[in-house]
Amino acid sequence: MRFRLLALTSVAVVAVAGPIAPRAFRPLALAPAAGVAVAQPSPPRPAACPATSTFTLHVERPNRTPAKGLQVVVKAGGRAGVRKATDVVSASGEIALCIRDATSGEMVEVTVAPESFLVLYPSHRQLALSSQGTPSVVVCETGRDCSQLSEADVVRIIQKALPQIRSMTANEKAAFFREWADYARQLSRDANADIAQLFTALVRKERQITAASQASNFLLAYVNKVREVVVRFERHAERALVNRDLKGFDDINKAIVAYNPIFDQLSEKTDGYLKETSDYWSTDVSAELRALFGEAREFHKQCIYPLNVTKELINACIRREPECPGMAAARRDVQKARSSLRNVTTPRLDRFEKRATDWLDSLDGRLFGDPAPSSPPAPRRNNQ
């Protein structure tokens, strides 16, 4: 009915307008009828983001509250060129980003707006994308929660780094925390923000790792020197005695000469390693290290020193000196020493090496939850 009425009306208008000059004629067929939509060209739709280019991040404040409404910009570089993606943090704290041609593990730069917000983690705002999980970004606002970080807040922030550093070497971990501390210092200076709690904790983490690594590396170096003495003695001792093999005896002697300096260090540097560890770790960690050093000294006394006595016996017999008790008696002593090496010394050394390695490995977990010493750490020293 609507279209019919329109047609009739049009005819009536034309009929009435007959005498009017042609220049006043306007063909109504070209005008849109009331209530009738006219098709317009549609704007091109953006191509859907491939699943492989979609990444999510979780953005929160130090107390785990989602940073709702904060604008986040992520910039990627590399061979694919500079690509940017932005989103506003949702009520749940998540943002979804389309970063075309990006790959899991690729490093990107994270910035936030407004400028009153600082990125506390990741360090230097550099974050690795992940297609399997949701990496975290921790922000604070100057004049508000930046200067109100609690000890629990700091622990939570630092724990964010655990997956990232788990596979690093001790030196890499120390460098990671050292660079993060430098970044925290820079934030404090550039933004005039008081985040001293985070800076202090990061410095302590770097020194914890360094102290534990130095002590552990020393213990493992001690194990290696001991093992060389054990292996060479077991291999050459009896033949050197029976055949008066000066070359075999010289191999034993060289291993013992190489061992002596690290034994001297065991006596001289133990207190330094213990002091460095107790400055930055808990009393439990320091006590465990003290026990390892004590065991190393006992090992020398019960296992290595007797080998040195047997070595002198072999030397006396090779050179036919009066101290040689006779070849038969000397050979029995050497065989007894070799048997003790196989059945007692080597298994004990293996156990000690495992304990030292396990002790260092255990510090990875305790690095993120170990309570601070009750007294402030002394100035750092170099144990060379």
pLDDT of residue 78: 78
Nearest alpha carbon to residue 266 among 105, 134, 383, 146:
383
Task: Confirm if 25 and 61 have CB atoms less than 8 A apart.
Answer: no
The tens digit of pLDDT for each residue in 221-235 reads: 999 999 999 999 999
Residue 337 lies in a domain: yes
Token pair, residue 26, equals 């306007």
In a shared domain, residues 159 and 240: no
In a shared domain, residues 218 and 361: yes
Region 183-207 average pLDDT: 88
In a shared domain, residues 288 and 360: yes
User: How far from the centroid of its chain's Cα atoms is residue 283's Cα?
Assistant: 24
List all residues 6 or more positions away from 136 whose beta carbon is below 8 Å from its beta carbon. Answer: 57, 58, 59, 60, 121, 160
Residue 76 lies in a domain: yes
Range of the domain at 85: 51-194
Residue 124 lies in a domain: yes
17-21, 166-170, 205-209, 291-295: range with lowest mean pLDDT: 17-21
Residue 41 lies in a domain: no
pLDDT of residue 44: 55
In a shared domain, residues 321 and 348: yes
What band does 377 get if pLDDT is binned at 50, 70 and 90?
very low
The tens digit of pLDDT for each residue in 52-70 reads: 889 999 999 999 999 999 9
pLDDT of residue 40: 57
pLDDT of residue 192: 74
In a shared domain, residues 176 and 305: no
Threshold 0.75, pTM exceeds: no
In a shared domain, residues 290 and 361: yes
Residue 288 lies in a domain: yes
pLDDT of residue 162: 85
Token pair, residue 93, equals 């704290």
In a shared domain, residues 145 and 223: no
Residue 320 lies in a domain: yes
Q: Alpha-carbon distance 74 to 80, whole Å?
A: 15
pLDDT of residue 369: 64
Residue 383 lies in a domain: no
In a shared domain, residues 215 and 342: yes
Nearest alpha carbon to residue 73 among 58, 86, 60:
86
In a shared domain, residues 349 and 294: yes
Q: 86: burial class by Cβ within 10 Å (0-12, 13-18, 19+)?
A: middle
Question: Which string of b and e fits 326-354 if b means at least 16 CB within 10 Å?
Answer: eeeebbebbeebbebbeeebbeebeebbe
In a shared domain, residues 178 and 313: no
Tally the domains of the chain: 3
69-83, 106-120, 334-348: range with lowest mean pLDDT: 69-83
The tens digit of pLDDT for each residue in 303-347 reads: 999 998 999 999 999 999 999 999 999 999 999 999 999 999 999
In a shared domain, residues 190 and 215: no
In a shared domain, residues 168 and 65: yes
Percent of the chain with pLDDT over 90: 58
pLDDT of residue 253: 92
Residue 375 lies in a domain: no
